[in-house]
């Protein structure tokens, strides 16, 4: 069986966002892990408007090209890592909107959660994301990576470099995604 496709989803879209550097670091960690074919999926590139499909996504009757393209992207994933900040104690609206666009494409796949922020490290945002993923039958792994005071890890060139603790946490998360994906993938296929 081929290596599972792991999509690292960059969940902040605003101009000047800092999170893309975190997502790029997570993608590098996942490449180094060696257990996955890694794709960085930038929500800013998906170009999704506020949900504009008439039917429930459960039906898969998509009418817009952007939805069909987004569906094709998420369909090819075997697992995800969501990388996201905390906006007003919850997930960014753009991330929730992108998740809401689809249904079956998400299901029965493992997900790691990487939240970042100040003292709270985006943990309230991570807590808010879990029931959304649960509704879509995405399986969040316990080994989440949370990054407090995250800007200290971003240099003047906009490159995020994690310390040994963060790398250990990300590695544990990726190991668990790999373990769970091996169990979920066969039955799903
Ligand atoms: C609309 C908005 C709401 C925010 N709310 C929170 C918050 O509730 N808790 C927090 O720790 N930081 C909050 N912040 C600060 C973010 O952690 C910080 O701006 C971070 O860089 C956002 O990630 P991004 O740059 O990838 O968009 C907020 C930022 C924005 C733009």
Please name each of the domains of the chain with its CATH number. Answer: 5-188 (3.40.50.360)
Res. 189 pLDDT band, cuts 50 70 90: low
| Per-residue pLDDT tens over the stretch 72-93 | 999 999 999 999 999 999 999 9
Phi, psi of 74 (to 5 degrees): -70, -30
| Per-residue pLDDT tens over the stretch 79-128 | 999 999 999 999 999 999 999 999 999 999 999 999 999 999 999 999 99
Residues in the chain: 189
pLDDT of 185 reads 87
Is 125 near ligand 1, meaning CB less than 6 Å away? no
Burial 119-151 (b: 16+ CB within 10 A, else e): eebbbbbbebbeebbeebebbbbebbbbbeebe
Q: Mean pLDDT of all residues in the chain?
A: 96
CA of 48 to the centre of ligand 1 (A): 21
Q: Which of 86, 115, 129, 152 to mutate to test the pocket of ligand 1 (most atoms within 8 A of CB)?
A: 86
Is 17 near ligand 1, meaning CB less than 6 Å away? yes
What global pTM score does this model have? Answer: 0.97
Task: State whether residue 110 is helix, strand or coil.
Answer: strand
| Per-residue pLDDT tens over the stretch 153-187 | 999 999 999 999 999 999 999 999 999 999 998 77
């Amino acid at each position: 069986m081929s290596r599972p496709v792991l999509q690292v989803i960059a969940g902040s879209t605003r101009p000047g966002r800092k999170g893309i550097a975190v997502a790029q670091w997570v993608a590098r960690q996942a490449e180094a892990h060696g257990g996955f074919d890694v794709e960085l999926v930038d929500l800013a590139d998906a170009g999704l408007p506020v949900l504009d499909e008439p039917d429930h996504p459960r039906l898969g009757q998509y009418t817009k090209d952007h939805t069909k393209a987004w569906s094709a992207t998420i369909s090819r994933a075997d697992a995800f890592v969501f990388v996201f900040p905390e906006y007003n104690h919850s997930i960014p609206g753009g991330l929730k909107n992108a998740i809401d666009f689809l249904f079956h494409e998400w299901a029965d796949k493992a997900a790691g959660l990487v939240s970042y922020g100040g003292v709270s490290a985006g943990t309230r945002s991570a807590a808010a994301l879990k029931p959304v993923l649960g509704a879509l039958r995405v399986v969040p792994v316990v080994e989440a990576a949370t990054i407090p005071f995250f800007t200290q890890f971003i240099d003047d060139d906009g490159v995020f470099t994690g310390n040994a603790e963060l790398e250990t946490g990300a590695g544990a998360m990726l190991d668990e995604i790999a373990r769970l994906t091996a169990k979920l993938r066969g039955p799903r296929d």
